[in-house]
Amino acid sequence: MTPDLTGKTVIVTGANSGIGLATARALAGYGARVVFAVRNTAKGGSAASTAPGLTEVRHLDLADLASIRRFAADWRGPIHLLVNNAGTSAPELERTADGFELHFGTNHLGPFALTNLLLPHVTGRVVSLSSQAERMGRINLDDLNWERTRYRQSGAYATSKLANVLFSSELQRRLNAAGSAVLAVAAHPGFVATNIYDRASGLGTRLMLRLFAQTPEEGALPVLHAATGNVPGDSFIGPEHWLHMRGGAEPIGRSRTAQDTELARRLWDASEKLTGVSFCL
């Protein structure tokens, strides 16, 4: 049954391409007013023009805390659904506008700050995109900014995805403790051919993309189930088939590290200090 989101407002970060665009189009088709929160508003406008229903484009750079604060300060009205979709991956060590390692800053700290700043407006759900790559992540609380740790793209990306799951779980615990009905859910889209692989140069990666990658529309299915399905808070939703990398949507497991409540709490505390943003309903 198609969900009816008529009259609801949805924010999708990174909605100008890939899974974000596929998710935004589907939610607009469900009747929602969809806000495309994007770095490039020209590209966002072109993308939004392909979606049915009511859409809006707003500037948001998750690699810049000042941009996140402006976005949140300008927001008015309720938010039924916030989809933290935008993410990045970089082969070389790069840093955000605030000096954070790019993966950790963009994929975790940016959504962390955005969610907490917008939380007083949220009435329904917060969906955070993660990945089964979280199983390879390692949170080093003594070097979150990769200043002493040897940089590896795969390790940095996996660590940011682990942080996404830990964030979603800790957010749900804090929402429960505050008596809020808002749900926090994580989603893994599977193996999807998106522009996050644009800088992939290896023959093996290119071959895997050609043979096994899903379309963004297929990758959006777990995200949409996390956003609108009958799922409890702190769920992790991923594809049904091929080791949870392709097709459909269902609850999936997570690593033992991703279930570490003490690590989640400590990461949350560190994230508050780094961003200057705290949990507040």
In order, the DSSP letters of 94-139 are -B-TTS-BHHIIIIIIHHHHHHHHHGGGEEEEEEEE--GGGGG---
What is the C-alpha to C-alpha distance for residues 124 and 142, in angstroms, rounded to an integer?
35
What is the tally of structural domains in the chain? 1
Q: Which of 50-54, 133-137, 191-195 has the least mean pLDDT?
A: 191-195
What is the C-alpha to C-alpha distance for residues 154 and 163, in angstroms, rounded to an integer?
14
In a domain, 238, yes or no: yes
> How high does pLDDT run on average in the chain?
93
157 is catalytic: yes
Q: Which CATH number goes with the domain that contains 243?
A: 3.40.50.720
Read off the pLDDT of residues 88-119 as tens digits, 9 standing for 90 and up. Answer: 989 999 999 999 999 999 999 999 999 999 99
> How sure is the predictor about 203, in pLDDT bands with cuts at 50, 70 and 90?
very low
> How sure is the predictor about 1, in pLDDT bands with cuts at 50, 70 and 90?
confident
In a domain, 265, yes or no: yes
Mean pLDDT over residues 173-196, rounded? 89
Q: What is the per-residue pLDDT for 234? A: 98
User: Considering the chain, what percentage of its residues have pLDDT values greater than 70?
Assistant: 91
Among the listed residues 30, 151, 157, 197, the single catalytic one is 157
Q: What is the per-residue pLDDT for 221? A: 96
In a domain, 151, yes or no: yes
Q: What is the per-residue pLDDT for 201? A: 47
Domain range spanning residue 160? 9-275
In a domain, 107, yes or no: yes
In a domain, 47, yes or no: yes
In a domain, 2, yes or no: no
> What is the maximum alpha-carbon separation in the chain?
51
Mean pLDDT over residues 77-95, rounded? 96
Rg (CA), the chain: 17
Closest to 39 measured CA to CA, from 29, 30, 47, 27 = 47
Question: Residue length, the chain?
Answer: 281
